[in-house]
Structure 1
Amino acid sequence: MILSELINTLCNPKIYPHPVEVITTIETHISVVFLTGEFAYKLKKPVNFGFLDFSQLTQRATFCHLEIKLNRRYAPELYLGVIPLYLDAHKKLSFIQATPDDKPVEFLVKMQQFEPNNVLGRYLKTEVLSEQQSSQLAFQIANFHIKATSVSPELTHGQPDAILKPMLDNFTSLNDQLGQSNSVCFDEHSYHELSPILDSLMSWTQAEHKRLTPLLIKRKTEGYIKACHGDLHIDNITLIDDKPTLFDGIEFSETFRWIDVMSDLAFLLIDLDFREQRPLKSRILSLYLSRTNDYNGLKLLNLYQVYRALVRAKITLLRACQLPQEHPEITALKQVARTYILQAQQYTHTVSCPKLILLQGISGSGKSCFSNQLLDHVEAITLSSDRIRKHLFGIQPLERVSKSDRQRLYSAKMNHDTQVALKTYAKEVLSLGFNVIVDATFLKHEHRQPFYQFELRKPHSIPCGTRLGYTYHHIYIQADRQLAQLSIQQRSLRNDNPSDANAEVMTRQIETLEAPIFKENSLTLKASQLRQFFPEETIKQ
């Protein structure tokens, strides 16, 4: 059956085996989704783009079943099954198999329909994710990656050459579009602007891939090449009952599915950049890393962000070139593709002089809340001593411990191990050019001193203007016993903070607290005032 006829037929409410009043369609370059009210049906287009081949019915059937299997890993409530379509005695499309001899003429993926405006790409245009929703999203992705199957060593997925190939394929596709004199996607001005940028990005990609090859090999050996989502952009995440839920992972290509977990995450991160949601990006990346402990993977992030931004540009242009030449959407799609290409260029520039911000204060002083607010003003990765402490202890961030385990959790040994981990991660992340916020009690001067004495070894020699290669900022949040105790009681009732410190722990902290000394050049903020307003002007100074 011709695709246009098939689409027109499926737009008829009467064809469905359940009551349907109105049908809305969502079309991409590879599929059409029919929203019927209670259920959604996805039709795969009979297309072949090289990296994807749905041209034969048997292929579409196979990939429909695989889509259900893979996406049930993170959204079992959404993916209901595969629905075959038949021709009835009058050669009309039907959901019913009239006789046992009737063969399917097409297949659909049946899903539970959800509110389209809750898809993150639309939702974030008018709404914001709450702190709880941001945490849920970060931890859902992290937990999925932790549990996902690692690739078998004998397979080629995850080998350096296999990683480079789809990256270079992007440039081939984009340059083909640039080189078409009659292309609806690019005009002569676009060619002269974007062609040199793509050439530069390809050279950078090849050089960066070569530099990182030893790490790429190590990542596969250590099990970071996994059966991932593969298409984790902002339009493949939705809110179900106000909780972020992943959907529509890649089924059509093992090459795109068996990837480094950092490549999977990078897709979401570049989309958040595109929508200028950088505070949300910082929160999700920080929380993800606190759960996976994969700080070493940050070394690959810019490489994968360039790759993912160019994937977005390529797919956007594929969609544009499927439209009639005078279609009103083409101009907007061209601009989106151009923006992603320019965005990819930005990821090749490392921050010249990253900031290290230490937040000091007793438990209950409001450090974590302040740290979260700070991300609205500085793009950074947050290192939380409470989260790292629990990771080292082998428990979940919000998992609570018994009284005896609390003594172990806050023992001298755990304090030491947490301090060592904080220093290690802070130095590593700074050396990659990321700003870092360290959220810890920092009771003793000796705990703080190592953080302003790092000597960074950066992957590239970049002038900073400081001897150490970063700028150090110390913020002391001053809280009295009564206010801190009230804060501890309130967060215990909410159960939304990883800290297990109680009033007893807080009392010991007050007894041993060493306030900042002159040479630390500290900014002191009163916790009581921070409850009322965020001191934006003071922070800027």
Structure 2
Amino acid sequence: MSNNTAPDSSLTLIKALSEANGCEVVETHISWLLLSEQYAYKIKKPVNFGFLDFSTLEKRRFCCTEELRLNKRLAAELYLEVLPIIGTPDRPELGGAGTAIEYAVKMIRFPSGQLLSEYAKLGQLNSDEIDQLAELVSGFHETIARTDQNSPYGDSANITHWFIENFEHIEPLLIDGAQKQQLQNIRQWGDSEVCHLAALMQQRKKQGYVRECHGDLHLSNITLIDGKVVLFDCIEFNPMLRWIDVISEVAFLFIDLLHFNYVHYAYRFLNRYLQQTGDYHGLALLRYYLVYRALVRAKVSLLRKAQQQDESARQTLCEYTTFADLAERFTRRRQTVLIITHGYSGSGKSTIAAQLAEAIGAFQIRSDIERKRLFGYRANAQTDSGIDSGLYTEQASLKTYQHLKELAKTVLDAGFPAIIDATFLKTEQRYLFRQLAADCGVPFHIVSFQASDRELCKRINLRQGDASEASVAVLHRQQQSAQPLSEQEQSGLITVNTESDNALQTLLDQLGHYFQ
């Protein structure tokens, strides 16, 4: 048997099972899925790709039990049990007593046409699904097991191994000279990059960011059931590929959203994930992991192509090209810029800053969220802090703005634009960030958000479930104590009337030249 082709006995087994149970068969490069009206039975192919080894019955049995264990963390309602398959390849039986000749994972069959990848192909993904994903993944990452210093998981050497392993599979399958050169350029970038990142990778492991993740987080492994986003099909076959840095996990979903041309949603997902986790320091590794994840998808495309013919193979080769181009894109640093907001509570800063971040591929850091995180509160917690007390004393505000500056530098150093979302009503607060931009050698802009007093009060009174605790009384205090923008600050100033329908477009007209 070759290392990537199922033997005739396995094909006989699948055919007999599907006929005996009235099942439709769906095939991937590593498994068969038998679909009955109510259930799905997943049977692993006896293949060995190096990173995955299903070559013996015992290995397939073990991976079936692992698949059940791991997926019950996220989709307990779908994953039911591991069934032995008894009998002979031409007369098999699902379940029952006797010597097992194969194993299957039994699952509830969810409705067809509900995969997020299917929605994406039709252009029908919406922001609610992205927001559910950000909340679901961030909550999952908070609760899952974390590695310790004695385990091999998350070491820089292992991370590098899996990065390089992609090239070992891809290179022999490429014929086109330009594609070979592109791959070589990506490999040289990866070799250089890891020299600078190895210490950080080890530090992230020590800090507990290497966890037992999903491992295969892309849109084809996410479905909707009664409007609820459900993640399934974790990596069970190789612990090295699921015990990973959480930033590597989110990079996979990010890349897949880009693959489907949902650029805005990719940044919406990652912004919301970071706002919920506070893991902005992970951005230093993001580009490396984006390249890695794009290479993984490129590799899988070529492995699947080897099992296909004619038109399907041509389509898969096009998919390879898309992912290879995405990998190459993130080997290049992009234009960065530091933007701070300016305006009273209720002026629409956070709403439009979030839209701007999605549109230009930036990271929005919200002072309301980071202030609470800094003092041990969750984003939507009510701290009952009064004016100039609790979290809003002068000392607490100074500490908050210093923290925002550190996070802004983290984002800029990672090679991404940063939008710092705060009132910035004090001259010294704004100066702190103007100086940061100068130190980092990036353009600096103040975006001043404006609205009528009536509209400000209306918005504040209508707020529900937001991180901001500002009241109308706080607004009045802001208006009394705000320090006006100096003449120097007028340079690079962009003023936006948030009662206008074209507020976002005004910003894009002013800032779009950075990102063309």
TM-score by length of 2: 0.91
Query: Counterpart of 1:137 in structure 2: which amino acid?
Result: L
Q: Distance in 2 between matches of 1:335 and 1:129?
A: 23
Is the counterpart of residue 524 in structure 1 residue 495 in structure 2?
Answer: yes
SS of the residue 1:298 aligns to: helix
The answer to whether 1:500 aligns with 2:436 is no
Distance change in 2, residues 1:72/1:456 (3 Å): farther
Deviations 1:310-335 (A, max 9, x none): 11111111111012x43x21001011
The residue that corresponds to 1:273 in the other structure is: 258
Q: Is the 8 A contact 1:385 1:439 kept in 2?
A: yes
Any idea what the Cα deviations from partners look like across 1:226-278, whole Å, max 9, x if unmatched? 21111112222222332332211111101111111111111111112222212
The letter for the 1-side match of 2:321 is R
CA gap of 1:471–1:403, structure 2 versus 1, over 3 A, is closer
Does residue 27 of structure 2 align to residue 4 of structure 1? no
| Partner Cα distance (1:136, 1:475) in 2 | 30
- Residue 357 of structure 1 aligns to a residue in which SS? strand
- Alpha-carbon distance, 1:368 to partner: 1.6
| SS of 2:131 mapped into structure 1 | helix
Supply the distance in 1 between the matched residues of 2:360 and 2:478 (Cα, whole angstroms). 29
CA distance in 2, matches of 1:148, 1:364: 37
User: How many Å apart are 1:452 and its aligned residue?
Assistant: 1.5
2:449 maps to what in 1? Answer: 477
CA distance in 1, matches of 2:400, 2:277: 16
Q: Distance in 2 between matches of 1:249 and 1:141?
A: 13
Report what 1:68 is aligned to.
Answer: 68
Structure 1 residue identity aligned to 2:159: I
Structure 2: how far apart are the matches of 1:400 and 1:38?
46
Distance in structure 2 (CA, Å) of the matches to 1:430 and 1:269: 19
2:314 alignment counterpart: 331
Give the drift of 1:128. Answer: 4.9
Task: Give structure 2 stretches of 5+ with no counterpart.
Answer: 1-7, 511-516
2:346 is paired with a residue whose SS is: coil
Q: Which residue, out of 212, 217, 222, partners 1:227?
A: 212
Alignment pair present for 1:172 and 2:141: no
Structure 1 residue ranges without an equivalent (≥5): 17-22, 179-185, 458-467
Question: Does the aligned pair in 2 maintain the 1:283–1:381 contact within 8 Å?
Answer: no
Against the structure 1 CA distance between its residues 320 and 224, is the aligned structure 2 distance closer, same or farther, given a 3 Å change threshold?
A: same
The alignment covers a number of residue pairs equal to 501
Change (3 A) 1:421 1:65: same
Summarize the alignment of residues 180-191 of structure 1 with structure 2, pairs less than 5 Å apart.
Answer: 186=175, 190=176
Q: In structure 2, how many angstroms separate the alpha carbons of the residues matched to 1:251 and 1:406?
A: 52
- Of 268, 273, 282, the residue aligned with 2:267 is 282
Listed one character per residue, the Cα deviations across residues 420-443 of structure 1 (whole Å, up to 9, x for unaligned) are 111111122112220111111112
- Structure 2 distance, partners of 1:517, 1:364, is 23
Shift of 1:455: 5.4
CA separation of 1:96/1:311 partners in 2, compared to 1, >3 Å: closer, same or farther? closer
Q: What's the C-alpha RMSD, in Å, of the aligned pairs?
A: 2.4
| Equivalent residues of 1:485, 1:503 under 8 A apart | yes
Deviates more, 1:202-211 or 1:127-136: 127-136
Once the two structures are overlaid, the 10-residue window that deviates more, 153-162 or 167-176, is 153-162
- Alignment check: 8 A CA contact 1:476 1:525 kept: yes
**Percentage of identical aligned residues:** 36
> Residue 367 and residue 538 in structure 1: after superposition, are their counterparts in 2 closer, same or farther (change >3 A)?
closer
1:446 CA drift (Å): 1.9
- In structure 2, the residue corresponding to 1:2 is in which secondary structure? helix
SS in 2 for 1:118: coil
Superposed CA offset, 1:381-413 (max 9, x none): 111111212222323223334467995233333
- Of 151, 155, 161, 1:159 maps to 155
Matched, 1:194 2:179: yes
Q: 1:308 to 1:405 in 2, by over 3 A?
A: farther
Contact 2:356 2:507 in 1 (8 A): no
**Does residue 1:490 correspond to 2:497, yes or no?**
no
Q: Aligned pair in 2 of structure 1 residues 533, 10: CA closer, same or farther (>3 Å)?
A: farther
Matches within 5 A, 1:111-190: 111-178=107-174, 186=175, 190=176
- Judged with a 3 Å threshold, the aligned counterparts in structure 2 of structure 1 residues 364 and 405 are, in CA distance, closer, same or farther, namely closer
Give 1:118 shift. Answer: 2.5
- Residue by residue over 1:325-363, the C-alpha shift from the partner in whole angstroms, topping out at 9 and shown as x without a partner, is 43x210010111122112211111111x41222222222
Task: Measure, in 2, the Cα distance between the counterparts of 1:292 and 1:342.
Answer: 30
* Aligned mates of 2:230, 2:458 — CA distance in 1: 34
Shift of 1:485: 2.1
> 1:385 maps to what in 2?
367
- Counterpart residue identity of residue 124, structure 1: A
Aligned equivalents of 2:430, 2:112: Cα separation in 1: 48
Distance 1:96 1:145, change over 3 A: closer
Q: Distance in 2 between matches of 1:349 and 1:356?
A: 19
Pairing partner for 1:15 from 14, 21, 26: 21
Match of 2:77 in 1: 77
* Larger displacement relative to structure 2 (367-376 or 400-409): 400-409
- Alignment partner for residue 434 of structure 2, among 452, 455, 475? 452
Q: Distance in 2 between matches of 1:368 and 1:533?
A: 16
1:126 alignment partner AA: L
Contact 2:338–2:437 at 8 Å: present in 1 too?
Answer: no
